[in-house]
Amino acid sequence: MTGAEDAAHPVTGLDEVVHQRVRLGILTVTHEARRVEFGYLKSNLELTAGNLSKHLSVLEEAGLVEVEKGYEGRRGRTWISLTAAGRAALAAEIGRLKQLIARVETSEA
């Protein structure tokens, strides 16, 4: 292998925090919606409240999402939005996945 083939394989750049299936789903849905309610994520990603909370904590600690608690009427609500770092991390992960897809498609041709 020479030239571009000597570069590290795109899989080595995948972010373990972002790439995990549930967290990638959270980031993607939140990116699409700009701001999403906890219950919406829970039902759409088919998660328990506890499981979603744990994944949100990982993303929040990494600075990728912002969690806002408040009220809508008398009901407590939790909203999630991406930070600038979260948008950048998601874009980088999608870029790496596209590179992987291109390599697979090229090798099949």
Nearest C-alpha neighbor of 86 from the set 103, 61, 50? 61
- Give the start-to-end residue ranges of the domains of the chain: 14-108
Question: What is the pTM assigned to this prediction?
Answer: 0.85
Q: Calculate the alpha carbon distances from 98 to 34, 38, 49, 57, 95 in Å.
A: 23, 29, 31, 27, 5
Confidence band of 72 (pLDDT split at 50, 70, 90):
confident
Strand (E) or helix (H) holding 89? helix 84-108
pLDDT in tens, 49-63: 999 999 999 999 999
pLDDT in tens, 21-53: 999 999 999 999 989 999 999 999 999 999 999
Place of tokens 């969690």: 67
Residues 6 or more apart in contact with residue 78 via CB below 8 angstroms: 37, 38, 67, 68, 69
Domain 14-108 has CATH 1.10.10.10: yes
